[in-house]
Amino acid sequence: MKKLLAIVAVLLPVCSWAAKNTVPDIMPIPQKIEMAKGRFKVKGVNVNCDPSLDARTVKLVRQFADRLSLVGGKTVSVASPIGLGRAVGAGTIKGLCFVPDASLPAEGYSIVIGKKAAVVSASDYSGFFYAVQTIKQMLPVSIYGKTQDLKAKWYLPCCEIKDSPRFGYRGLLLDCCRHFFSVEQVKKVLDVMSIYKLNRLHWHLTEDQGWRIEIDKYPKLTEIGAFRNGTMIKREWGSNDGIRHGGFYTKDQIRDVVAYAAERGITIIPEVDMPGHMVAALASYPELGCAGSGPYEVRTYWGVSKQVLNVGKESTMKFLEDVCDEVADLFPGEYFNIGGDECPRDEWKTDPDCQAKIKELGLVSDEKASAEARLQNYVTARMQKFLATKGKKIIGWDEILEGELAPGATVMSWRGTKGGIKAASMGFDVIMSPNTYCYIDHCQSTDLASEPYCISQTPDRAVTLEKLYGYEPYDGFPEDARHHLLGVQVNLWTEFIATPEYLEYMLLPRMIAISEVQWSNPEKKDLGRVKNSLETHEFPILDILGYNYRKLDK
Ligand code: ACM
């Protein structure tokens, strides 16, 4: 018996070597992954790019090859041999090959790894970008670093992966208004989004507490509106920390960030929140306000302000169009977010311009909506039309559904899921970011005392990793409305998030968990696997890259 055990012990490594590879930790988990036997050596590998690949994709491959050279300690060369596609088809090629395949879906990719050759295919830039992310996740984590790691085993496991996203819209909202974050920090957020295949940054750039984007026609928006005289402390109304806070992005900085995002497969969608959440603009240009409102000051405390734009004045509408004109020119994506949330209409009830506009437009109150709600509909419709002349479609928070909404708008469901379900049933495209699952400014634990101070101060409002990961976006959607669901977004509002370290703590690891809700098939979801992957694989990656994150509960 002892002898038998000794033989088994000797054979075990051989047997496991001969067995199929185990499934690597890849998050979000691919749609299809089949492991085979054997491994492919990447140290010093020859990389081949099909000559038909565009310059962007070749640059991406070169960057990856450079990283492999650096960390693997052996030069990886990149070539573009004529006839690569044919050689791949005939199985006569060696090395790591990148070849286009028009039959693959948008953002999808295929990776086939044999012992001699590994072939990566996609039909677009994003597909190749995501294939590279997946390959990096299969390599030793030191691939994310910038130092040589000669101890690591620079091999890929033989396998076949076919992958594409469940949803085309995989978003994160970053609020740079309640607290301002530097360009470097925004880029750091883009970096981690791209590892986990998120593809939309919803950039919240205007707010009561700060205007963050340079507008040539209205310089006071950043001279005055970008700075506030202190910030309230926790929920102590009337308090002020006495620290002037602010900052803004110049147009050149915005262009730089937009390009940086595009290299990572990310489209940035700007939000100019209107006609509420505009106190910083009102402080800069008080003439945009309603009769009897003001004086204005860039808001130093949180909550919803009753001070809103006077949309009864043509000059205010011209202001909005001018601002959106300049903002739209900076962001090449197809969407523009016009906000529309939390706009109290009290001031409009007594403002002569707003009442005159209501009369002129023939707006009436009925059981469906008040005349003032319909005045907001007018603003939404007018901006929708204006932005269409700039080639943009609008997205707005679910309040834009109140009253009438013109076809073609996309609704972002934040007050739970019902707004999104209703909008989709009415034929509007929707993005789900319900505060019940997707607000990652909420506490990560029901044990509030164990967490840093955050916006949700009751245990039932906590958005734990488990809760967020359990979200199924189609829940409650009628079958015939499902095609309107574009995707899912997590929202990182920053009222109580003042530092980069805390920002990352709230973002991670929840953003990694949501990536599986956004990308993977629900049948593949497995909380145990995700937790294990976080502990053993994702956290080491975050450590190497220098991110702060919340550890898992024991
Ligand atoms: C929101 O959270 N007010 C969209």
Q: Summarize pLDDT for 53-85 with one digit per residue, the tens.
A: 999 999 999 999 999 999 999 999 999 999 999
What mean pLDDT value characterizes the chain?
96
Q: Are residues 72 and 196 in the same domain?
A: no
| Domain identity same for 110 and 191 | no
For 512, the token pair is 């990694």
Query: What is the CATH number for 33?
Result: 3.30.379.10
Residue 525 lies in a domain: yes
Q: Is 341 in the pocket of ligand 1 (CB under 6 A)?
A: yes
**C-beta of 397 in contact with ligand 1 (< 6 A):** yes
Let me know if residue 103 belongs to a domain: yes
- Out of 130, 163, 196, pick the residue that ends a domain: 163
239 and 384 part of one domain: yes
Out of 342, 441, 442, give the residue to mutate to test ligand 1, the one with the largest number of ligand atoms within 8 Å of its CB.
342
Structural domain includes residue 554: no
Is ligand 1 within 6 A of the CB of residue 25? no
Does residue 471 fall inside a structural domain?
no
Identify whether 223 is part of a domain. Answer: yes
* Residue 18: pLDDT band with limits 50, 70, 90: low
Q: Is residue 532 part of a domain?
A: yes
Check residue 1 and give its pLDDT: 47
- pLDDT over 70, % of the chain: 97
For residues 158 and 267, membership in a common domain is answered with no
What are the strands, taking DSSP E only, across 420-502?
Answer: 429-432, 485-492
| Residues 156, 173 within the same domain | no
Q: 9 vs 3, 5, 22, 226, CA distance in Å? A: 10, 6, 20, 68
CATH number of the domain that 195 lies in?
Answer: 3.20.20.80
- Residue 274 CA to ligand 1 center (angstroms) comes to 12
Residue 515 CA, ligand 1 centroid: distance in Å = 21
Q: Does residue 248 sit in the same domain as residue 107? A: no
Ligand 1 probe mutation, 397, 436, 489, 490, most atoms within 8 A of CB: 397
User: What kind and span of H or E run contains 206?
Assistant: strand 206-207
- Please list the alpha-helical segments (H only) found in 452-521: 465-469, 500-507, 510-519
For the segment 464-474, the average pLDDT, to the nearest whole number, is: 98
Name the residue range of residue 48's domain. Answer: 2-163
Among 125, 141, 163, the domain-final residue is: 163
Distance in angstroms (rounded) separating the CA atoms of residues 331 and 269: 7
Instruction: Give the whole-angstrom CA distance, residue 420 versus residue 266.
Output: 24
Structural domain contains residue 91: yes
Q: What is the pLDDT of residues 149-191, one digit of tens each?
A: 999 999 999 999 999 999 999 999 999 999 999 999 999 999 9
**What mean pLDDT do residues 330-353 have?**
98
Same domain? 146 vs 178: no
* Residue 370 DSSP class: -
The predicted pLDDT at position 15 comes to 44
pLDDT at 2 over 70: no
Q: Are residues 83 and 175 in the same domain?
A: no
How far apart CA 6 and CA 16 sit, in angstroms, is 16
Determine the distance separating the centroid of ligand 1 and the alpha carbon of 133, expressed in angstroms: 32
Distance 397 CA to ligand 1 centre (A): 7
**CA–CA distance, 381 with 39 (Å, rounded to integer):** 58
Residue 447 lies in a domain: no
The phi and psi torsions of 170 (rounded to 5 degrees) equal: -130, 90
Domain C-terminal end among 126, 141, 163: 163
Ligand 1 atom at shortest distance from the alpha carbon of 412? 4
Same structural domain, 140 and 206:
no
Q: How far is CA 57 from the centre of its chain?
A: 22
- Can you tell me the distance from the alpha carbon of 168 to that of 24, in angstroms, rounded to the nearest whole number? 25
If one residue of 202, 304, 341, 496 were mutated to test the ligand 1 pocket, choosing by the most ligand atoms within 8 A of its CB, it would be: 341
What is the number of the ligand 1 atom nearest to the C-alpha of 397? 4
Same domain, 138 and 215: no
The pLDDT of residue 554? 86
Which residues neighbour 303 within 8 Å (Cβ) at sequence distance 6 or greater? Answer: none
171's enclosing H/E stretch is strand 169-175
Same domain, 140 and 179: no
Q: Are strands 206-207 and 210-211 parallel, antiparallel or unpaired?
A: antiparallel
Atom of ligand 1 nearest to the CA of 342: 3
H helices of 99-139, in order, are 125-138
Q: Report angle CA 198, 320, 430 to the nearest 5 degrees.
A: 35
Backbone angles phi, psi at 385, to 5 degrees: -65, -45
Structural domains of the chain, count = 2
Q: Which residues of 69-83 are buried (b: 16+ CB within 10 A; e: fewer)?
A: bbbbeeebebeeeee
**pLDDT given at position 19:** 86
> Among the listed ranges 2-11, 321-330, 409-418, 478-487, which one has the minimum average pLDDT value?
2-11
Residues 122 and 177 in one domain: no
Nearest residue (by CA) to ligand 1, atom 3, is 341
- The response to whether residue 414 sits with its C-beta less than 6 Å from ligand 1 reads yes
